[in-house]
Chains A and B, each alone.
Chain A
Amino acid sequence: MTAEPEKIQAAVSSLIKRRLPKRVDSVSVEPAENEEGDEYLLVTVRLSTADVDDEALERLLEDIESEVAGLDERYPSVRFLDAA
């Protein structure tokens, strides 16, 4: 089961807006490959503030994984880009 990156991106963006309103600048989802050639999804979340605690980000990361698992069997590797 796979889904279009745009569909996953919309679902992840909606989840993030509910969990961390106004603290995220952008979200992107794109397919990538590991060293063995297996596909995974690279989910990049750019934070707009450094004022988000690790516990909230840990929960968010696991919630994103669960959200994506319902749409796509590829593993989502979630990366947070620190606020500038």
Chain B
Amino acid sequence: MASYDEELLEAARRLLLRRAGQRGRLPGARVRRSISTTYYALFHFLLEELSTRIAGTGNDLRIRRRILARTVTHKGLRTALDKIRGAQINDSVRGFFQIGIAGPPTAAPLFAQNLARAFIDAQTKRESADYDLNEPLSETDARLLRLRVRRAIRTWRAASEPEDRDFKRALSILILLKGQLRQEA
């Protein structure tokens, strides 16, 4: 059975399909809806990831996972992921990703950086798609975003070494804390 994020990505793809013989630009509403749907595919993927990594995967924990997922905000996700997207993890949270005594990592693993960048890309475009008709968005943007998000999710899922799992869990907690470990100026 397809997961919810896969169903949404498929819906985003279908919005960009042409009927046989159809030429010219696709209606803007379909392009914008596709972008918005792609964003929500990634948003729901992250909710699922976070809630299972923190609450656990058991059937009897479904309600706990649902309650936990409802506490996640779009802004909190962005703040947390913005801090790990670059070549260096933001200093305010770097120590949180340390394991043992080797010192904190300089950068997030690539699978996490890719997902963070894809999320910020998708969220920025989704806001334009849903709220600002003056900002340009093309069929190419919608297609590329969907491909990027699909690849980011696959790469994330494929990262399963113990240190990858630890990073995912620490990031899940950081997201739950809305990207803030202490009062920052």
Residue numbers of A with Cβ under 8 A of B are: 32, 34-36, 38, 40, 42, 44, 47, 54, 57-58, 61-62, 65, 69, 75, 77-82
Task: Name A82's contact: one of B25, B75, B147, B148 (CB within 8 Å).
Answer: B25
CB pair B138 A81 closer than 8 Å: yes
CB of B144 within 8 A of CB of A69, answer no
| Minimal beta-carbon separation of B7 from chain A (angstroms) | 22
Closest 3 CB pairs of A and B: A77-B124, A80-B140, A82-B138
Q: Are B138 and A80 in contact (CB under 8 A)?
A: yes
Supplied contacts A36-B75, A57-B144, A62-B117, 16 more A-B pairs, CB within 8 Å: A38-B78, A44-B136, A54-B140, A54-B143, A58-B144, A61-B148, A75-B85, A75-B120, A75-B121, A77-B128, A79-B125, A79-B135, A79-B138, A80-B141, A81-B136, A82-B25
Q: Which residues of B contact A (CB under 8 A)?
A: 25, 75, 78, 82, 85-87, 117, 120-121, 123-125, 127-128, 131, 135-141, 143-144, 147-148
Contacts of B123 in A (CB 8 A): 34
Contact partners of B87 in chain A: CB under 8 A: 69
| Inter-chain CB contacts under 8 Å: number | 54
Q: B135, A42: Cβ atoms under 8 Å?
A: yes
* Residue contact B144 to A82, C-beta cutoff 8 Å: no
Complexed CA–CA distance, A75 and B127 (Å): 14
A residues near B144, Cβ cutoff 8 Å: 54, 57-58, 61, 80
Asked if B140 and A57 make an inter-chain contact with CB atoms under 8 angstroms apart, the answer reads yes
The secondary structure that dominates the A interface is: mixed
B157 smallest CB distance to A (angstroms): 19
Our pick among B25, B121, B140 for the contact of A77 (Cβ within 8 Å) is B121
Q: Are A77 and B125 in contact (CB under 8 A)?
A: yes
Taken together as a complex, chains A and B put the C-alpha atoms of A80 and B83 apart, in Å, by 26
| Cα distance, A65 to B78, chains bound together (Å) | 17
Query: Is B148 in contact with A58, judged by CB distance below 8 angstroms?
Result: yes
Cα A82 to Cα B26 with chains together (Å): 11
Question: Which residues on A sit within 8 Å (CB–CB) of B117?
Answer: 62, 65
Question: How many Å from the CB of A84 to the closest CB on chain B?
Answer: 10
Query: B124 and A75: CB pair below 8 A?
Result: yes
Q: How far is the CA of A65 from the CA of B75 in the complex (A)?
A: 21
Interface centre among A47, A54, A79, A81 (most CB of B within 10 A): A79
Residues from chain B with a CB closer than 8 A to the CB of A54 are: 140, 143-144, 147
